[in-house]
Each structure stands twice: as structure tokens, then as C-alpha cells.
Amino acid sequence: MSIKLKDIYLFEWIDSDFINLIVDNSRRLEINSWEYIIRQWENSDDSAYIIQDWNAIVEIDWKEVKELTEWNIFWEIALITDEPRTASIKAKSSVVLLKINKELLHKIMKEFKNWREIQKIVFERIMENHKKK
């Protein structure tokens, strides 16, 4: 699994020890088909999610705008900011997720000498999302 996480843009430059720390301390969730994982305009739960198995749908104002597949990360913005959710995510089939919370990321960042890189990458993603609106 470490190799797959290494393919996610947020973790591509983090060494295997840190990736293993993320995996070992993440919560594994199983979501049923068509169940909402998060809903648009909900308050942040300070967590990001990685799809480990299967697919999910992104909806904005109840319209499907994108499909997420295995090893996509979403809501990583919640690891940095407390903005309300800007879209809903719904399981297209039964989905297995890894849930990473802000506390875990902060713990890792304290030990990682280039932790500002994570912040920079997430802020770039926030800016991309705001440009799309």
C-alpha cells in the first residue's frame, strides 16, 4: 500500500517511514453503495480521505461533476483550513477509505523536516478549486 500512497500528489515526496506512519494511524472506513461520505456545506471534520478500493462520485448542488477512483484523495483542504465542504462525495459502489485527520498530519509534519511543502501543496489545491468556481 505504501507504493500506492506514494503516487498521491500530497505524499509523493515523503519517505516510506512517514507513509507507513500515515497508514498505521489512519482509520479504515467501509461505506455502502450510494451512501454519502460527506455532504456539501457541512462543517469540516478535520479529515482527508483516500479511496483505497472502488469509486465515489463528487456532486456540487446535487449534480455529478466528477468520479473519484482508487487512490484519489479528497478533502485534503480540511487538513489545513476549516472551510465548509464545497461538494458532496457519495459512494458509487461499496467503498473502502483511509481517513487521515489533522492531528495525525500535524504529528507527522513536526517530525518531517519539509512539512511546509505539505502546506504549500494543499494551498495550491485550494487556489485551483477557487479558480474553478
Percent share of the chain, pLDDT over 90: 28
Q: What is the pTM of this model?
A: 0.73
List pLDDT tens digits, range 51-88. 988 899 999 999 999 999 888 888 777 677 777 888 99
Walk across the sheet containing 73-74 and list its strands: 27-31, 95-101, 47-53, 73-74
Grid coordinates in use for 103?
492531528
pLDDT at 24 over 90: no
What's the pLDDT band for 39 if we cut at 50, 70, 90?
very high
Orientation of helix 16-25 relative to helix 102-111, angle to 10°:
150
Judge whether residue 113 has pLDDT over 70: no
Please give the Cα distance from 113 to 45 (Å, whole number). 26
Phi, psi of 6 (to 5 degrees): -65, -25
pLDDT value, residue 1: 54
Q: Which of 33, 42, 32, 89 is nearest to 62 (CA)?
A: 89
Topology classification of domain 2-132: Jelly Rolls (2.60.120)
* Residue 20's pLDDT band (cuts 50, 70, 90): confident
Residue 99 CA to residue 101 CA, distance in Å, equals: 6
Provide the pLDDT confidence category of residue 92 given band limits of 50, 70 and 90: very high
How many degrees, rounded to 5, is the angle at CA 64 between CA 128 and CA 124?
Answer: 10
Q: Which three cell numbers stand for residue 117?
A: 511543502
Query: Residue with C-alpha cell 481517513?
Result: 99
User: Which strand (E) or helix (H) includes residue 28?
Assistant: strand 27-31
Tell me what pLDDT residue 83 has: 78
